[in-house]
């Protein structure tokens, strides 16, 4: 069994700030999907003047990307909230509207803090606001691609003080606007690579064995945080139940473009693309500065969900 289940593309980073038609500072944390034969990604972009906005890029082969001339035409916030900055878009096919997509994202404002927002789009040009759907102090929201027991389901990561430990929670909704029945799904693990914070990464992938999630885990080294990715499997009918959670990280910062940048030592993903041959692509933010591509397969990721690490010290 190969412990390195992701292979990073040798041409990484596949998108970097110099690929943009105008000067920007950083491009990272994309939500990426495949529509027909075309790959699309909506990414976080820090412009020279503003905090983070969303920007679209397209590709025919998943490696060479063409970045749009301008940021997305993002709908203005209504009177109910303010939004200075948007980031970390997760793109889910809309379970009720074939051909449409829901973007769940972090909506941040100096006045009201960070909350989760949802918009719907049919063409990635126009975006219809569904609403701001969490309390203050929440991000890393991910909507499942199917309703479960008639309800929309999401994972998210509520937080208090940004340096406190936090875990992945689940909530349910009849209409995408009102969410409830929230409970914790999994938290950090003492002694392992994800011992401080864990948050949902990609939109969950339905497999015969359960909902596969590639999640991020954070550890504090004393000299700063490290963001890595791991895998877990949630029950198909009741995704608040964790069936399996691999002990090993499956992707971690190791190359210069992942180790240095706006925020060093970060790999972070928002979506995974399953190809017809069951290979899996993730596009990931590297050091909150540029974007890498890593490839694996469903089989390798499912194996990684049940893998123990023989070197972990266990109580006698």
Q: What residues line the site for ligand BMA (CB under 6 A)?
A: 29, 87-88, 227, 263, 266, 268, 285, 288
- How many residues are present in the chain? 316
Locus of tokens 């109580």 = 315
Query: Residue 134 CB, nearest distance to ligand BMA (Å)?
Result: 15
Element holding 93 (H helix, E strand) = strand 85-93
Query: Residue 39 CB, nearest distance to ligand BMA (Å)?
Result: 21
Nearer to ligand BMA, 205 or 287 (CB): 287
Q: In what order do the strands lie in the sheet with 168-173?
A: 138-143, 152-158, 168-173, 180-186
Buried b (16+ CB within 10 A) or exposed e, 144-183: bbeebeebbbbbbbbbeeeeebbbbbbbbbeebeebeeee
Query: Residue 288 CB, nearest distance to ligand BMA (Å)?
Result: 5
Nearer to ligand BMA, 14 or 305 (CB): 14
Which residue lies nearest ligand BMA, judged by its C-beta? 263
Query: Residue 248 CB, nearest distance to ligand BMA (Å)?
Result: 21
Query: Residue 37 CB, nearest distance to ligand BMA (Å)?
Result: 30
168 touches 135 (CB < 8 A): no
Query: Residue 91 CB, nearest distance to ligand BMA (Å)?
Result: 16
Q: Which residues pair with 121 in a beta bridge?
A: 101
Locus of tokens 């064995």 = 209
292 phi, psi to nearest 5 deg:
-110, 160
Nearer to ligand BMA, 242 or 263 (CB): 263
Query: Residue 152 CB, nearest distance to ligand BMA (Å)?
Result: 23
Nearer to ligand BMA, 30 or 131 (CB): 30
Nearer to ligand BMA, 69 or 162 (CB): 162
Q: How many CA atoms lie within 13 A of 222 on its CB side?
A: 0
CA atoms of 74 and 101, how far apart (whole Å): 15
CA atoms of 151 and 132, how far apart (whole Å): 18
> For residue 35, what are its two tokens?
């529509």
């Amino acid at each position: 069994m190969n412990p390195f289940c992701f292979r990073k593309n040798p041409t990484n980073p596949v998108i970097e700030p110099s690929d943009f038609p105008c000067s920007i500072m950083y491009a990272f944390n994309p939500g990426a999907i495949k529509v027909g034969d075309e790959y699309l990604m909506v990414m976080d972009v820090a412009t020279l003047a503003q905090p983070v906005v969303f920007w679209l890029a397209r590709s025919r082969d998943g490696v060479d990307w063409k970045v749009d001339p301008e940021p997305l035409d993002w709908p203005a916030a209504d009177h109910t909230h303010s939004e200075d900055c948007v980031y970390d878009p997760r793109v889910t096919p809309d379970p009720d509207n074939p051909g449409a997509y829901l973007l769940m994202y972090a909506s941040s404002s100096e006045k009201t803090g960070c909350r989760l927002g949802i918009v719907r789009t049919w063409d990635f040009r126009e975006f219809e606001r569904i609403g701001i759907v969490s309390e203050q102090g929440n991000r890393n929201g991910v909507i499942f691609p199917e309703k479960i027991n008639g309800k929309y389901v999401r994972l998210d990561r509520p937080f208090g003080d940004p340096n406190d430990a936090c875990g992945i929670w689940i909530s349910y909704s009849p209409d995408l606007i009102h969410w409830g029945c929230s409970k914790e799904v999994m938290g950090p693990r003492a002694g392992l690579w994800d011992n401080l914070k864990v948050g949902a990464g990609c939109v969950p992938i339905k497999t015969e064995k359960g909902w596969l999630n590639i999640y991020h885990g954070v550890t504090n080294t004393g000299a700063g945080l490290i963001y890595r990715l791991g895998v877990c499997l949630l029950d198909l009918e009741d995704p608040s139940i964790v069936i399996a959670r691999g002990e090993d990280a499956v992707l971690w910062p190791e190359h210069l473009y992942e180790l240095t940048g706006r925020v060093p030592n970060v790999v972070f993903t928002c979506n995974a693309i399953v190809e017809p041959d069951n290979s899996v692509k993730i596009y990931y933010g590297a050091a909150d500065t540029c974007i890498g591509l890593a490839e694996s397969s469903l089989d390798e990721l499912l194996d990684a969900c049940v893998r123990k690490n023989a070197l972990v010290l266990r109580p006698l």
